[in-house]
Amino acid sequence: MSLADKVLAVNDDLPIRTESAVHSGKVRSVYWLTEADSRRLIAEKGYDVAADAPLAIMVISDRISAFDCIWHGEGGMNGVPGKGAALNAISNHWFKLFREQGLADSHILDIPHPFVWIVQKAKPVMIEAICRQYITGSMWRAYSKGERDFCGIQLPEGLQKDQKLPELLMTPSTKGILKGIPGVPEADDVNITRDDIRNNFEAFNFRSIDDIDLYEKLLREGFDVISNALAELDQVFVDTKFEFGYVTDAAGNEKLIYMDEVGTPDSSRIWDGPAYREGKVIENSKEGFRQLLLGHFPDPDILLNKDRMPERQALARDNALPESVLMEVSKTYVGIAEKITGETLTLSDNPKAEIIAILRDQYGLVD
């Protein structure tokens, strides 16, 4: 079996029983279950959700996206071996730690397979909740050009690239295009201030103004839990993105939960501690792949300039990356997953066949 066969690149063609179209994102595909299957599983498995809650099967893939494009490799390798299993294992680890430490639940109800989550439908808070402990990336690029106001927070003069910030910063942006909010452009991923959120909390899907304090508390405490755990492994938690939403439990209580993924190399920057102390940055996250792409192509502006999106898409479509590049990325993802979870990541020879068998035999979701 070739390496390409072990990669789960296409994840929206599984024969899972559903009455609606499969929603396929950059990395995950979501299959909404029929009402009958949702009710049956809630009863059979005892999930702590309302009896009529819509459930979905979320299947991760090994695809890799960067700069809003999906990249592929030579020899038909349309993803990174081990990436999907690594991302899920890391998120599962942090979500479990959050629950054990009394922070909040997540949208995950069950984990039938390393590539699969059974999730409950949540009403998302329309905020990309970003936390930063170091100045790097887009914040450094803006700071180095003279910007000092970030999401309503004033940064001091004299900061150096990659240095630790005086305090943990929360720099939220919009999730999706929000309309009719004064001072907030109608575009995806626009930086917003705490005042924007407080003055328009309902537009961001918050139930009450008090829930803004709760979201900030969960953001800060979630960041600290991961940062402290990584510090014990001599890794630096640099910055990350969290997402939140509302669900209702079996007793009818509405609660704010973590959703999407947390503390992964896709949603966070993680640096190697020993290298950082020597003044070097070694990325244990997708940022390493981004930097590699910027160095791989002669005109990096195509990747950084949103006005050149058609050229960027052509670049991703027409250029198969060397297998060695994707294997280096695989080493990063699998390595950090094994470090965080303390367990060896076993890569499946045929993940798709395994998923179908488990969902058919143990969950009755495949005809």
Separation CA 290–CA 281 (nearest Å): 14
The pLDDT assigned to 188 comes to 87
Reported as a pLDDT band with limits 50, 70 and 90, residue 238 is very high
Q: Please list, in sequence order, all residues whose beta carbon lies within 8 angstroms of the beta carbon of residue 354, skipping any fewer than 6 positions away.
A: 113, 348
Cα gap 157→350, rounded to integer Å: 53
- Give the alpha-carbon dihedral of 354, 358, 360, 363, to 10 degrees: -160
**pLDDT digit string, tens, across residues 309-327:** 999 999 999 999 999 999 9
Does the pLDDT of residue 5 top 90, yes or no? no
Distance (Å, whole) CA 106 – CA 115: 17
Chain-centre distance for alpha carbon 23: 16
Is the model's pLDDT at 60 over the cut of 80? yes
pLDDT given at position 299: 96
Q: What confidence category does residue 1 fall into, taking pLDDT thresholds of 50, 70 and 90?
A: low
Q: From CA 367, how far away is CA 293, in angstroms rounded?
A: 42
Amino acid present at 154: Q
Torsion region of 250: left, alpha or beta (phi above 0 gives left; psi -120 to 50 gives alpha)? alpha
Beta bridge partners of 55: 120
| Spatial distance between the Cα atoms of 18 and 357, rounded to a whole number of angstroms | 17
Name the least confident of 74-78, 229-233, 335-339: 74-78
User: Which tokens go with 196?
Assistant: 């924007």
Q: For residues 215 and 220, give the distance between their C-alpha atoms in angstroms, rounded to a whole number.
A: 9
Rg of the chain over Cα atoms, rounded to whole angstroms, equals 21
Give the pLDDT confidence score for residue 317 in this predicted structure: 96
Whether pLDDT at 280 is above 80: yes
Tell me the sheet residues that pair with 283. Answer: 271
Sheet (strand 108-113) strand order: 23-24, 28-32, 55-60, 116-120, 108-113
Burial of 280 (0-12, 13-18, 19+ CB in 10 A): exposed
Span 280-297, mean pLDDT? 94
In eight-state DSSP terms, residue 319 is -
Angle formed by the axes of helices 323-341 and 83-100, nearest 10° = 20
Contact 11/353 with Cβ under 8 angstroms?
no
Query: Quick check: 347 pLDDT over 90?
Result: no
CATH classification number, 3-122+341-361, choose in 1.10.10.10, 3.30.200.20, 3.20.20.70, 3.30.2130.10: 3.30.200.20
Buried b (16+ CB within 10 A) or exposed e, 129-165: bbbbbbbbbebbebbeeeeeebbeeebeeebeebeeb
Asked whether the predicted pLDDT for residue 97 surpasses 90, the reply is yes
**What is the tens place of the pLDDT at every residue in 116-148?**
999 999 999 999 999 999 999 889 999 999 999
123-277 folds as D-amino Acid Aminotransferase; Chain A, domain 1 (3.30.470)
In the chain, the percentage of residues whose pLDDT exceeds 90 is: 93
Q: Which pLDDT does position 4 carry in this prediction?
A: 74
Q: Who contacts 367 (Cβ-Cβ below 8 Å, separation ≥6)?
A: 15, 17
Is residue 348 very low, low, confident or very high in pLDDT (cuts 50, 70, 90)?
Answer: confident
Q: With beta carbons less than 8 A apart as the criterion, state whether 70 and 316 touch.
A: yes
Q: What is the pLDDT of residue 50?
A: 94
pLDDT at 6: 81
Contact present, 172 and 127 (Cβ < 8 Å): yes
Query: Which tokens go with 173?
Result: 């942006």
| Predicted structure pTM score | 0.95
What pLDDT, on a 0 to 100 scale, did the predictor assign at position 346? 87
**306 confidence band (pLDDT: 50, 70, 90):** confident
Is the model's pLDDT at 332 over the cut of 90? Answer: yes
Model confidence pLDDT, tens digit, residues 140-177: 999 999 999 999 999 999 999 999 999 999 999 999 89
Residue extents of the structural domains in the chain: 3-122+341-361, 123-277
Q: 11 falls in which pLDDT band (50, 70, 90)?
A: very high
Q: Please work out, in degrees rounded to the nearest 5, the angle formed at the alpha carbon of residue 12 by the alpha carbons of 8 and 15.
A: 100
Q: Which pLDDT value is given to residue 367?
A: 87
